[in-house]
């Protein structure tokens, strides 16, 4: 999820209305059910939460939330 609320799957911009279908297609093509979630620091919280909810609808069974690496670790 980008700062302006835009959603991307890999590098492709996706409308929320198409998100679940496209995510399912990407996961099926890779033969996996794990999806990785990332949001820019200034992304709207509500939008990020909305996308996380829709990831389940895209048939992701495991959602890994990416975070910043802790300095010095």
DSSP structural state of residue 69: P
pTM of the model: 0.85
DSSP 32-49: --EEEE---TTS-HHHHH
Sorting pLDDT into bands at 50, 70 and 90, what band is 69?
Answer: low
* Cα angle, residue 63 at apex, residues 27 and 48 outer, rounded to 5°: 105
pLDDT at 71: 61
- 3-class SS of residue 72: coil
- 3-class SS of residue 27: helix
d(CA 21, CA 55) in angstroms, rounded, equals 10
Using one digit for the tens of pLDDT, what is the confidence trace for 15-58?
Answer: 999 999 999 999 999 999 999 999 999 999 999 999 999 999 99
């Amino acid at each position: 999820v980008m700062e302006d609320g835009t959603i991307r799957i890999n590098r492709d911009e996706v409308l929320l209305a198409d998100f679940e279908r496209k995510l399912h297609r990407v996961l099926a093509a890779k033969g996996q059910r794990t999806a990785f979630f990332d949001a820019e620091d200034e992304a709207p919280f509500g939008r990020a939460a909305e996308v996380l909810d829709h990831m389940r609808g895209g048939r992701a069974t495991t959602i890994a939330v990416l975070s910043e690496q802790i300095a010095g670790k």
